[in-house]
């Protein structure tokens, strides 16, 4: 279980095993009883800042691999994990919740008789992990009786003993809760002073200490850090009861706590100067102040007239459209139909890839998968099969050229090695294919958002993520945003409301007519991307420049039908 921290206990995180699902319940738990604000020392005692000894983890891994091999496995990998999470939730000028969780254990995956087997334990002794390995082999042998084709893994050369860590300057675990809570409360205050009636802000902080070993000869120790500080500003018209919200425009990041040390070079003016955007570090308080003002302005914004518009989409918005229509659609397990129950399969089937001429998008559309992008949520040294992080093309010059594959999928698409996109959200979860960072490359010609808008006669400029819907084939969709601005004859003229655009994946990306250059390229991301049954979550980023799409259908979401 996770530990809900109150009063003086908020500064003592006890060593205990917790269920891996505990941190998934944070959103619900955050709405619980009000906390009296507590300010004091950092959350973690010194021992929590120090990882388990590498030699201890290696001894556990060797015990598991030796036991699995003796029991009949031809392959074994071992993942030893320690997961530390802290979540802080505030409402207006109050701290609502401070939640800390820790989870530690060992997962063992094997191949025996041509089938997978998996078993995990949170008792980290040599005998316990050896027992888990033998149980995994027994499960594999039972699975083999029902399996029609043997599991074949793409080769991976063992890397010996290596270590990798997220680059950061300031460890969030060493920052006092007081400092974090005061920042969130200051953001709430700024938003309410600017026009919001209610403010809610949160801080998610994650540390995954992951050790991977396999019979291929790898012993990989990784220390991964991620954080995110979302908020929502709500403005209310008390006379009518109408309300509007504006969420934060930050991107989750794999930086350290220096993410909040925002300098002038991190600030970017949106087209028309309508708000401030951020690249790299983030000014939470400044964005909250803008959100309070803009939430109030949305109460009197002009409602959109439905019709065809040229859309100018900021990276803070477009990342979600990329995630749903390209990221999930090019996951090979969806393409093959292995993943179907959780949000469907994919229209981007193998026959389209084999044709070598399927026009996923316009000629200027280039998508890459990349687990090496600095600051991205998908940044790692190695995936959960011991494959080194890499970069590869998914769509080149508008043509579908590849997918996202793990070791047991690579041969299906003629690849000699895995793409390195295997992931499990816990030591007790089975690793499977998860999305790497999927990003749209910037345009080659110099172009700013303001210059892009100069050529738009009738359009809408959209910032921030909103509600969305997409079908079970990742094809037909509808997306909203946070801020909408009407464009007339090359100029932003006023704010709009009730906007959503509808299209299908192929039509939409073939309507792409212009891309801003590298100076405007930024990342957005999903901190809790769900997939699989039982469900797992992962974190992934998507980069893009501000991008233009011509002739897209826009609807008015407030209009009643009939």
Amino acid 188: pLDDT: 98
Supply the pTM of this predicted model: 0.91
pLDDT digits (tens, 9 = 90+) for 484-496: 999 999 999 999 9
Q: Which strand (E) or helix (H) includes residue 55?
A: helix 54-70
49 pLDDT band, cuts 50/70/90, is low
Question: Would you state the pLDDT for residue 18?
Answer: 30
Please spell the DSSP secondary structure of 490-546, one letter per residue.
Answer: TEEEEEEESEEEEEEHHHHHHTEEEE--GGG-EEEEEEEEEETTTTEEEEEEEEE--
- Tell me the percentage of the chain whose pLDDT exceeds 90: 88
300-311 per-position pLDDT tens digit? 999 999 999 999
Question: In angstroms, what is the C-alpha Rg of the chain?
Answer: 24
Mean pLDDT of 157-176: 96
* Numbered ranges of CATH 3.30.2290 in the chain: 3-176+199-225
DSSP 8-state assignment for residue 61: H
Q: 205, 85 in Cβ contact below 8 A? A: yes
Q: What is the CATH number of domain 3-176+199-225?
A: 3.30.2290
The residue-averaged pLDDT of 420-425 equals 97
Residue 364: other Cβ atoms inside 10 A: 17
Burial of 365 (0-12, 13-18, 19+ CB in 10 A): buried
Of 256, 238, 236, 259, the residue nearest 246 (C-alpha): 236
> 39: pLDDT confidence band, cut at 50, 70 and 90?
very low
Task: List the alpha helices (DSSP H) in 377-512.
Answer: 449-453, 505-510
Residues 6+ apart with CB under 8 A from 24: 528, 537
């Amino acid at each position: 279980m996770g530990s809900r921290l109150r009063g003086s206990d908020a500064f003592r995180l006890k060593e205990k095993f917790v269920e891996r699902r505990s941190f998934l319940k944070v959103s619900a738990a955050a709405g619980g009883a009000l906390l009296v604000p507590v300010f004091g020392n950092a959350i973690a005692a010194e021992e929590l800042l120090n990882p388990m000894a590498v030699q201890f983890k290696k001894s556990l891994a060797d015990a598991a691999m030796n036991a699995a091999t003796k029991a009949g496995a031809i392959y074994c990998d071992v993942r030893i994990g320690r997961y530390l999470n802290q979540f802080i939730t505030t409402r207006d000028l109050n701290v609502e919740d401070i939640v800390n969780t820790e989870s530690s254990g060992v997962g063992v995956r094997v191949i025996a008789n041509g089938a997978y087997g998996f078993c995990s334990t949170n008792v980290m002794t040599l005998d316990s992990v050896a027992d888990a390995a033998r149980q995994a082999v027994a499960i594999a042998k039972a699975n083999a009786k029902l399996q029609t084709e043997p599991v074949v893994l793409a080769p991976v050369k063992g890397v010996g003993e290596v270590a990798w860590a997220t680059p950061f300057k300031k460890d969030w675990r060493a920052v006092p809760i007081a400092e974090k809570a005061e920042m969130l409360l200051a953001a709430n205050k700024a938003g309410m002073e600017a026009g919001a009636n209610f403010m809610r802000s949160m801080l998610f902080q994650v540390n995954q200490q992951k050790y991977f070993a396999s019979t291929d000869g790898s012993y990989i120790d990784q220390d991964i850090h991620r954080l995110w500080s979302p908020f929502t500003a709500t403005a209310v018209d008390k006379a009518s009861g109408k309300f509007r919200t504006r969420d934060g425009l930050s991107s989750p990041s794999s930086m350290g706590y220096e993410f909040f040390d925002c300098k002038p070079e991190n600030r970017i003016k949106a087209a028309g100067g309508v708000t401030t955007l951020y690249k790299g570090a983030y000014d939470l308080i400044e964005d909250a102040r803008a959100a309070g003002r803009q939430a109030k302005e949305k109460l009197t914004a002009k409602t959109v007239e439905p019709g065809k518009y040229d859309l100018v989409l900021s990276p803070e918005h477009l990342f979600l459209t990329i995630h749903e229509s390209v990221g999930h659609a090019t996951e090979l397990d969806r393409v093959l139909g292995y993943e179907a129950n959780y949000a469907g399969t994919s229209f981007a089937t193998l026959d389209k890839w084999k044709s070598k001429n399927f026009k996923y998008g316009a000629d200027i559309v280039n998508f890459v998968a990349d687990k090496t992008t600095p600051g991205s949520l998908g940044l790692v040294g190695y995936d959960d099969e011991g494959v080194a992080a890499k970069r590869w093309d998914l769509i080149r010059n508008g043509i579908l050229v590849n997918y996202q594959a793990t070791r047991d999928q690579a041969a299906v698409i003629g690849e000699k090695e895995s793409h390195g996109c295997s992931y499990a959200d816990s030591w007790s979860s089975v690793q499977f294919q998860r999305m790497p960072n999927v990003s749209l490359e910037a345009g080659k010609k110099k172009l700013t958002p303001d210059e892009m808008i100069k050529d738009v006669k009738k359009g809408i400029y959209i910032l921030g993520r909103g509600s969305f819907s997409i079908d079970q084939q990742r094809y037909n969709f509808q997306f909203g945003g946070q801020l909408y601005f009407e464009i007339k004859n090359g100029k932003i003229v006023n704010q709009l409301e009730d906007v959503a655009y509808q299209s299908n994946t192929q039509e939409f990306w073939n309507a792409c007519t212009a891309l801003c250059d590298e100076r405007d390229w930024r990342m957005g991301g999903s901190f809790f991307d769900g997939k699989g049954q039982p469900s797992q979550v992962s974190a992934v980023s998507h980069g893009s420049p501000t991008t233009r799409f011509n002739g897209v259908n826009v609807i008015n979401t407030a209009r009643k039908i009939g």
